[in-house]
Amino acid sequence: MGTHALGPGRRSVVWVQGCPFHCAGCLAPEWIPDVPARRVAPVDLAAELLADPAVTGLTFSGGEPMEQAAGLAETARLARRARPDLTLVCFTGHRLERLRDRPPNPGVPALLAAADVLIDGLYVAVRDDDRGLRGSANQRVHHLTDRLRHVDLTGGPRRIEVRMRGAEALFVGVPSRAMAALYPPADGRSAQ
């Protein structure tokens, strides 16, 4: 099932488990713990992401995608083999300069090479400007290719979609400040 809330067009999204940053007020605290989650081989994940024929792009989020960079890079490569025009937006708490100069693991260069847009920087709740795909104003949008350069990802209203999974509601997208205030992080950390 695709989404329109995490990038341009209809996108398939991967949320990875595990994040070393533990940002106060994290928008997705359930993905922070570095605990075993559903393991999927890149070839199988690529097939799942492309099951919706209307998908035009992929978004990698988390958790921290750079912690699983090699597998995500391979997933993107396999998905683009089937659909060469797919775009890729990737979120990370790392700064682009650090990823290039001192990658945290060997798969990072391949994931950066696959990404069309990288949104970098830690989430800082008090800098949440309620605009675009960034969680906070300190985060930067890097167009690593020209494929999505025409799309403004820093401005405009945020979009969120609500998905039901059994008795659970899953919010997909970057919530507005008002919405985030209604649903504070379950781990008790302040969003301010």
- Burial (CB < 10 A; 0-12, 13-18, 19+), residue 108, is buried
Backbone angles phi, psi at 6, to 5 degrees: -125, 45
Q: What are the residues facing 118 on neighbouring strands?
A: 90, 142
Per-residue pLDDT of the chain (192 residues; tens, 9 = 90+): 688 888 999 999 999 999 999 998 887 888 888 888 899 999 999 999 999 999 999 999 989 999 999 999 999 999 999 999 999 999 999 999 999 999 999 999 999 999 999 999 999 989 988 888 998 999 999 999 999 999 999 888 777 777 777 887 677 767 666 666 666 555 444 333
Residue 153: closest CA among 169, 140, 138, 163: 140
Which amino acid is residue 188, in one-letter code?
A: G
Q: What pTM did the predictor assign? A: 0.88
Q: Cα Rg for the chain, rounded, in angstroms?
A: 16
The DSSP call for residue 53 is T
The type of residue at 150 is H
